[in-house]
Structure formats: structure tokens, C-alpha cells
Amino acid sequence: MKTGRKDFRRRWVVLSAVLLAFSLVAAACSQDTTGNETVTTTIGETGTTEATTAAAPAPFDAGPVKIAIVQNSGAGDYFQQWTNGAMQQAEAVGFDVQLYDAQADNAKQATDMETAIGSGVVGIIVDHGQTDTMCPLINDALDAGIFVVIYDIAIADCAPRAVQTQQSDASLADLVLGQMLEDIGTDQTVGYVNVLGIAPLDRRHVIWEEYVADNNWTQQFFVGEFTNAVATDNAQLVDAALKANPDVTAIFAPYDELTKGTVSAILENGLEAQISAYGIDISNADIEVMTADGSPWMATATTDPNAIGAAVVRVMALEVAGQNPDRSVDFPGVLVTQDFLVSNEIKNMVDLRAELPELNLTDIKSAEWIPAVSF
């Protein structure tokens, strides 16, 4: 898979421009130009809903139930897919959703949470964010009698009454790092791109440190920052790191926007023949990058963001209905290699779901009265 690198560099320039334009349009579309950040539109792919076989319990038997999603998204289509899945499932189950998105602004997310608490909602889903910022506000919501479900924030120690949901980040990191170990072996010089202080990235970091120690990898650099233009901003950081350390064999960047920035920097430095990239998460854009001729992105571990968003909403539905006994829910992932994508001629997420039905999480945290949504 190391052939055709020069052709890929030319294609990457075009693809990068398209991705940048798309992310700017998506960011603009997610904002209300009047300054009101609450929206109720569904973004992204259209799903299908299967009929239920049981009557809805209270309070869903009395009309739409008002909830809020307080989100702190980053760049890229992972968050758009997650939100699409959440909104599709919310509509199917009977939620009336107020959607807030701070777009990598922690102070704004705090303000959004305060607004949501005072808006008369029955429940609040908090999607990503900083533990220190959000935990006091999560407890305020719980004290006000509001159901709270968290996705990818570490709140077990500071807000144990909330329901915590997350991808199984340790297993995702183990899956892709196991593939990286198989590809490059032990006693190698490696690079690392990550941002600590974000719950899922912190959990992935723990597994990275274990692999470095256990396999005698030498970490030549560790860079990364979380912004509303993650791929573009981190491409510059990795570019500088590679100029100082061009002899690394592989780079682990455990978030797909970090991985795309890493791929861009590898190509910019003409190192695509010697350096492989490994990531976590997947999307239509990621698939295009991974399957391009000569791409250095060898593997990723992932869930389907649409399915995750929908599953988190089902957790909230069960919580509101008094049918959710669990305070913590993990969503399993799968390994996706470049070889698998190419050999199965996978072009997009629809193709990937067909080849990997385990990405469909409709049986996780559901009930007969909850309509199943597929994408």
C-alpha cells in the first residue's frame, strides 16, 4: 500500500480544499445568524425508522417531551453524523429537542448549559466538554430535577448521579495500536498527536503509554491542540515536529481530525513512503482519505457516529421513562484497515455499514416502544 504516493499528494491538495470548504459551510449552517444558538433541525444523512410493537410509557404517551442537547463540537463530520443520529432518534421516540453547540468554546458551553437548565426541559444530554467546566452545572441540573445523560465527559467522580455514556475508548485504542504494532513491530521510533484534558482522548492516552512502554517504542514528539479547525491547525504542529524529527516510522493520532492533519503534514514533508498514520473514528471524508492511492493512513478503530448519537438519545428516553438501571454505558467499536476498505471497495459509510453490521447499535439500550432508526 506504499505505492503511488506522489499521485496521492496531488489528490490530497484538492481533497483538503474541499474538506476545508465543507467544514466552514457546516460550521456556518450550525449557527443561527440572529445570535440564538438553539436549533431543532436535523443535519446530515436521512435515516429510516422501524415501527414499534408496544405503546409508549409516560411521559411519551402525552405528546412530545422537551429535552436539550448541550454540545461542544469540533471540526469535521464526526460531530455532524453524531448529531444527525441523535436528532433522527429523538424525533422517532417523541423528543422535542433544543440543540446548543459551543463549537470548542468552553465558556459558551457553560452559558448554553445554564440556558438549558432554565428552559423547562425534562432532560439534558451533554455531548463532550471539559469536566471542570461542566460538572458543577450538571449537578445544578440534577438538583433541579432534570435528567442528565453525558457523552464523553469524565463525570463519574464529580457527578455520579448522571448517566455516563462513552465509546469504549480503551478498546478502540487497543484495536488500532495492536494493528500498528503488527505493522511496524517493536523497537521503533514513533510520533504522537493528541490533546489531553478531553475525556475520550485521555482514555486513549493511557493505552498509548502502555504500548510505548511494552514495545520499546521511542516517542520522538507529542503535539496537538483542540480548536474549531483541528485538522488544519494540527497539520502545522505536525509539520514542525516532522521537520525536527523526520525519522519516525509511524504516528498515532487518536481522533480523525488529528489524523487528517497528520496525513497532511506527512505529505507536505514528502515522508509518505516511510511514515504510516493510525487514528480513531471514521466518516465519509476519512474513508476517502484512507482509500486514496498511496495514502499513509493505515488503520482506524471506530464506531458509527450516527449510531452512537441515536443510542445516547435512547439512553435518555429510557431514563425519562424510568427504565434505565445503568449509570454507565459503553459502546463497542471495530477495527477498520486500509486493506479492508480497498479490498471491499468501500466508498462511504453506507458501504461500511453493509460490510460491518456490528456498527449498527440498535439493540443497545432499546425497548419495544422505542422505534429503531437506521442510516
Q: Which CATH number fits domain 5-17+169-302: 3.30.9.30, 1.10.510.10, 3.60.21.10, 3.40.50.2300?
A: 3.40.50.2300
Name the amino acid, one letter, at 270: G
In eight-state DSSP terms, residue 76 is S
DSSP element (H, E) containing 79: helix 77-93
Residue percentage of the chain with pLDDT more than 90:
74
Closest CA to 85 of 75, 106, 65, 99: 99
Out of 62-71, 150-159, 204-213, 276-285, pick the least confident: 150-159
Ramachandran assignment for 96, one of left (phi > 0), alpha (psi -120 to 50 degrees), beta (any other): beta
DSSP element (H, E) containing 305: helix 305-320
Helices 284-291 and 256-268 pack at an angle, to 10 degrees, of 30
Buried b (16+ CB within 10 A) or exposed e, 341-370: beeeebeebeebbeebeebbbbebbbbebb
Task: Give the start-to-end residue ranges of the domains of the chain.
Answer: 5-17+169-302, 23-166+305-332+361-374
CATH architecture of the domain covering 23-166+305-332+361-374 = 3-Layer(aba) Sandwich (3.40)
What's the pLDDT at 111? 98
pLDDT band of 237, cuts 50, 70, 90: very high
